[in-house]
Amino acid sequence: MQDLTLFLEQYKKVIDESLFKEINERNIEPRLKESMLYSIQAGGKRIRPMLVFATLQALKVNPLLGVKTATALEMIHTYSLIHDDLPAMDNDDYRRGKWTNHKVFGDATAILAGDALLTLAFSILAEDDNLSFETRIALINQISFSSGAEGMVGGQLADLEAENKQVTLEELSSIHARKTGELLIYAVTSAAKIAEADPEQTKRLRIFAENIGIGFQISDDILDVIGDETKMGKKTGADAFLNKSTYPGLLTLDGAKRALNEHVTIAKSALSGHDFDDEILLKLADLIALREN
């Protein structure tokens, strides 16, 4: 039996070192570099990189083959957080218990730091000499979709436009499938591409990731209602303040908890009965469901 805590500690060290190295060793304007590193080193669970590593392990491939993919993905995730926190969007002062980027460096530098992280991610994917050119192109194409107008960015706009409106459960799911889910799906399916998984494995991993993505957002909405601010490192009640539709708001708190458990169960079931070394991947699914921040 493999210990999840040891796995997370081992690969968090790997991803943290890679993120720092990729930024620190490049010729970047000092204040811009400082701003980029401020958010990259702000902590966090590194869920998306962990999904890359755990999926590669589930497919019996060395997880270290996904270091650059995981690094690029975490940079794109971090850019999205910097921009989400801006006054023009969610207007948050704290992230992971620290001042948000724009509160420290100002709006203009924060915007540019996000832009720099986004574009650097594509360079990192292109430079991955451990992967074939075909695989690199596929990963770049995939992350362009997942993070772009049809994925995360489109979902963010839909989320902003849904403020002060009553949306249906179907509409809410569509928003978060793009805003939150697409990068989680990329974490898993990019690893499947690197590992040259067969079509059935890829299909099942995608089902796993789609349901984990929904579960992650439901968990996020639940924590915004009942979470401990000291553990979360940010204020709760932000969704209610912005009058956003949420899963607890549409389903009740108990209904949202049931939906969370249902999606985690579906995710885990998608991997059963197939040739996956999926112990850590299954434990990650439970971690997402039971997280406190």
3-state secondary structure labels for all residues of the chain: CCCHHHHHHHHHHHHHHHHHHHHHCCCCCHHHHHHHHHHHCCCCCCHHHHHHHHHHHHCCCCHHHHHHHHHHHHHHHHHHHHHHCCCCCCCCCEECCEECHHHHHCHHHHHHHHHHHHHHHHHHHHCCCCCCHHHHHHHHHHHHHHHCCCCHHHHHHHHHHCCCCCCCHHHHHHHHHHHHHHHHHHHHHHHHHHCCCCHHHHHHHHHHHHHHHHHHHHHHHHHHHHCCHHHHCCCCCHHHHCCCCCHHHHHCHHHHHHHHHHHHHHHHHHHCCCCCCCHHHHHHHHHHHHCCC
The domain 1-290 is placed in CATH, from the list 3.30.930.10, 3.30.420.40, 1.10.600.10, 1.10.3720.10, at 1.10.600.10
Q: What does each of the 293 residues of the chain score in pLDDT, given as a tens digit? A: 789 999 999 999 999 999 999 999 999 999 999 999 999 999 888 999 999 999 999 999 999 999 999 999 999 999 999 999 999 998 999 998 899 999 999 999 999 999 999 999 999 999 999 999 999 999 999 999 999 999 999 999 999 999 888 899 999 999 999 999 999 999 999 999 999 999 999 999 999 999 999 999 999 999 989 866 655 455 666 666 556 789 999 999 999 999 999 999 999 999 987 789 989 999 999 998 777 66
Q: Is the pTM of this model over 0.85?
A: yes
